[in-house]
Structure 1
Amino acid sequence: MNKFLWLLLLLSAISFPDKGAAAENLQAVIDSAKDGAIIQLESTTYNGNIVIDKPLSLIGKNGTVIEGEGNGNVISVRAPGVTISDLKVIKSGMDRNSSEEYAAIKVYTDGNLIRNIRIEQSFHGVYLSKAHENTIENVSVTGLGKGEIAAQGNGLHVYYSNGNLLKNNHIEGTRDGMFFDYANDNKALNNKITKTRYGLHYMYSDRNEFQNNIFTFNTGGAAIMHSNQLKLENNQFIFNYGHRSFGLLVLAANENNIENNTFYMNQRGLYIDQSTDNLIRSNHLSQNQIGIELWASSNEQVFTENTIEENTIPAITLGGTGRNEWSFEGTGNDWGRSFPLLDLDQDGLGDSPAVYKSSLYELIEDQELVYLFLKSPAIKVYEKLNQLLDHDKTMFEDQYPLVNGQKPIPYLPVIIVFAVIVTAICAKRRKRLCISFGKNGRKI
């Protein structure tokens, strides 16, 4: 038999596994692996749906894909101490009416690491279900886009899960970017979320920290609802724009710290309703239609050291008058060119309060479409007319407005320095008087 025939016989004896075989082999490898095993995947496509029920590491490489069946979770993690990294996951179940909400990766256990993952064509991206102390890092979730928001889930969904760390993730085109539901003591750091309904959505979730995240082109940057004692620091809410849109919504949420955030070119920068005892400090609100929208159902908010400049309306109070403070311990806010203020004593405070009066609250309360016309010349004419007729109302009064962003110089040190200078001058002059006129005032 010649060499060519031998080659044909050899090729006919080799079985090339298809995608289904690869998937069966992957589940079989997982089932047969020992606890703590490291399974290194190849640059190929494996079929889901797989279940990981023991602590192990599933490590991919460039080109590794796990493709679901389209009717369940692509990867289910049902053991603690699992690591999944460096692969792409696609095609979870998309049925929003099923008894279980499906995800590309659904985690039911504690202490797992999900890292360097790309997710597409899935209902939820990563779903933590009663799962604690997990790390979700450098995960990219791409949804179906704004036209399909109602038909899909969230990028990262955290349900009854505590103490998790979500950092350096990128989410685009999902329903909500991150959704926290009855989830406490979690941290979300350095995430980028765009083109979603709400970039961040908190419901009944307390003591979470949310820092250094960026929200752009969402219907709402972040919605904090029925959640208390949160820390929102150094986040950017940029161009979250549309009818009734906002950078940050605080609804029925109490004792939260909102500090050092940027609100730029939103329909409403900061929107507060039915909330109590929140600290809003050192934020920058610029070029929003409304800088701060504050409903009278909210009381005991403290606004201090914020820069609120170049907004169409700096701040407006709706539904009546609440009990809120626009300064703290003698330090108010910098209102930019909205309120030209004198500071003759150079203490960093305006010599008069910053008071803003408006009649637009009536229009906004009665007709939501007014938000779309706030920059119209007709609105300015309406405001001027009501000022002449004395029909406007005080929206806020900042007793200690900052001038050029300066913090006020504490009074006690100023008084001490002044006293020392006066004493020195008096002592020096007294010495000269004694030399010239003698101790009894008569010239010697």
Structure 2
Amino acid sequence: MKKLLLFLFVFSLTFTMSPEKNNAAENLQAMIDSLEEGAVLKLENKTYEGNIVITKPITIIGADNTTIKGDGTGNVISIKAAKVTLKKLNVSTSSMNRNSPEEYAGIKVYTNGNVLEHIQITDSFHGIYLSQAHNNKITDVKITGMGKGEIAAQGNGIHVYYSNDNLLTHNTIEGTRDGMFFDKANRNESDQNNITDTRYGLHYMYSDENTFTKNTFTMNTGGAAVMNSNHLLLEDNHFIVNYGNQSFGLLLLQANDNQIKNNTFYMNQRGIYIDQATRNIIKDNKISQNQIGIELWASSNEQIFTENLITENTIPAVTIGGSGETNLWSQNGKGNDWGRSFPLTDLNQNGIGDFPITYRSSLYQLIEDQELSYLFLKSPALAIYEKMNAVVIDEKVMFNDPYPLAAAKGNQNILLLALIGLAAVLILLKGRHLLCIIFGRNGKKI
């Protein structure tokens, strides 16, 4: 009898302890806390509860459907140790509180030398937030926000704050406030990212010596806004169909000594918009089918425009607020290729036009005085307005290119076909609303 009672006692004790052991095993924070430094934790195809804090260098690898879901009160994942690696995770549901001093995110990184790879982030205020975090690598991450209708209620896709020397590559960001926001962040490299349906695809503030290459911006209010930032390299990027009231492919505002090279600006409201900026080099870019190719405010000095293809824009270039005489439209005897907009002769076949190109216009006054004038730049009345003012008043010189380049006919045709094809694909993907934006309704639904 005593043996039977002892067996029943041991059995009941084992039974009551097993659920606690199983629950502990399912508690992701407890699992992380139990690991040694350098350990690898492989998660199953299921949902784990956040919010978790990582305080030691470990690796966490998920499966195809591994999800870490926060409780909506903080960061879903906080990385507070260096050299942490996260791979193959779905992360969701951070706090959306805009009044907290904490900037909440799906993943918030406070340390150096971490790797975030093959991660999807949804339902979070910021997607990834780097806070004084250096030498991190973020690659193949997809961040989905709530769309333009909820811009005020959400943060940025990737927010880089006082963080230097990070690599951001092959990421996809859609529907956040800004796609990538750099605030006092230097020497970061962003390569082959795809950003769409945001306010600004790229936003630099007080951030110097950053490199931004081979990225694509489509259907944002502004492709890239570079403000108070110097010594940047923007090269081989595509700014396509960034449209809306006061929109642009690229904005340079109080931005100095930057290199804008070999980028494509296609079907934006304004291809490049420059204000209070100095000594920027704009070279080898393709600026085509925009309402205004280049809008240059006279507060900007010593810009150099050389070897760009600037063609088929409603207005090729406009100077506003003064003469802008210190800006140059050629370098080393090479100006720009203005395509069919300005036919020229090249009798000696040296690739340089025989005569300078001088473009005069009265539209600068309309654009300067009337903010809504951008809505009418596609109107047939535009040419009539120009001709009437040419008779009544003296038109102002918008630019003078002393060494215009002879058009490369074959290359232009190939480029134009390629850009039209890409734009057609984007229109089909985004549907009827985009058609309204491009063809004259400025985004208003019909």
Q: Shorter-chain TM-score: what band?
A: 0.7 to 0.9
Given the alignment, which residue of 382, 395, 400 partners 1:397? 400
Structure 1 match to 2:339: 336
- For 1:62 and 1:242, how far apart are their aligned partners in 2? 38
Cα gap change, 1:28/1:385 in structure 2, threshold over 3 Å: closer, same or farther? Answer: same
3-state DSSP class of the match of 2:27? Answer: helix
1:238 to 2:240 alignment:
yes
Structure 1 match to 2:373: 370
- Give, in angstroms, the shift of residue 16 of structure 1: 9.7
Amino acid at match of 1:223: A
Contact persistence 1:184–1:205 (CA under 8 A): yes
Given the alignment, which residue of 275, 280, 299 partners 1:278? 280
Cα RMSD after superposing both structures: 1.9
Superposition map of 1:145-160 within 5 A:
145-160=147-162
Cα gap change, 1:16/1:353 in structure 2, threshold over 3 Å: closer, same or farther? Answer: farther
Structure 2 match to 1:386: 389
Structure 2 match to 1:346: 349
Given the alignment, which residue of 209, 212, 236 partners 1:210? 212
3-state DSSP class of the match of 2:168? Answer: strand
- For 1:138 and 1:15, how far apart are their aligned partners in 2? 42
- For 1:380 and 1:107, how far apart are their aligned partners in 2? 54
Deviates more, 1:166-175 or 1:22-31: 22-31
- For 2:342 and 2:387, how far apart are their aligned partners in 1? 17
Deviates more, 1:347-356 or 1:306-315: 347-356
3-state DSSP class of the match of 2:68? Answer: strand
Cα gap change, 1:280/1:17 in structure 2, threshold over 3 Å: closer, same or farther? Answer: farther
Contact persistence 2:336–2:404 (CA under 8 A): yes
Amino acid at match of 1:160: Y
- For 2:165 and 2:98, how far apart are their aligned partners in 1? 27
Cα-to-partner distance string for 1:32-62 (whole Å, 9 max, x where unaligned)? 1100000000101000000000000011011
Given the alignment, which residue of 159, 179, 182 partners 2:181? 179
Superposition map of 1:258-269 within 5 A:
258-269=260-271
Cα-to-partner distance string for 1:43-101 (whole Å, 9 max, x where unaligned)? 01000000000000011011100000101000000000000110100000001111101
Given the alignment, which residue of 276, 301, 312 partners 2:314? 312
Amino acid at match of 1:25: N
Unaligned runs of 5+ in 2: 1-10, 410-446
Contact persistence 1:327–1:399 (CA under 8 A): yes
Amino acid at match of 2:394: H
Structure 2 match to 1:326: 329
- For 1:358 and 1:316, how far apart are their aligned partners in 2? 8
Contact persistence 1:23–1:46 (CA under 8 A): no
TM-score (normalizing by structure 2)? 0.86
- Percent identity between matched residues is 64
Deviates more, 1:190-199 or 1:20-29: 20-29
Deviates more, 1:383-392 or 1:103-112: 383-392
Amino acid at match of 1:356: Y
Larger Rg: 1
Given the alignment, which residue of 296, 299, 311 partners 1:297? 299
- Give, in angstroms, the shift of residue 24 of structure 1: 6.1
Contact persistence 1:245–1:266 (CA under 8 A): yes
Unaligned runs of 5+ in 1: 1-8, 407-444
3-state DSSP class of the match of 1:356? Answer: strand
- Give, in angstroms, the shift of residue 26 of structure 1: 1.1
Structure 1 match to 2:42: 40
Runs of 4+ aligned residues of structure 1 deviating over 6 Å after TM superposition are 14-18
TM-score (normalizing by structure 1)? 0.87
Cα-to-partner distance string for 1:262-298 (whole Å, 9 max, x where unaligned)? 0000000000000000000000000000000000000
Amino acid at match of 2:370: Q
Contact persistence 2:317–2:399 (CA under 8 A): yes
Structure 2 match to 1:109: 111
- For 1:14 and 1:90, how far apart are their aligned partners in 2? 33
- Give, in angstroms, the shift of residue 23 of structure 1: 8.6
Structure 2 match to 1:25: 27
Amino acid at match of 1:368: E
Contact persistence 1:23–1:48 (CA under 8 A): no
- Give, in angstroms, the shift of residue 378 of structure 1: 1.8
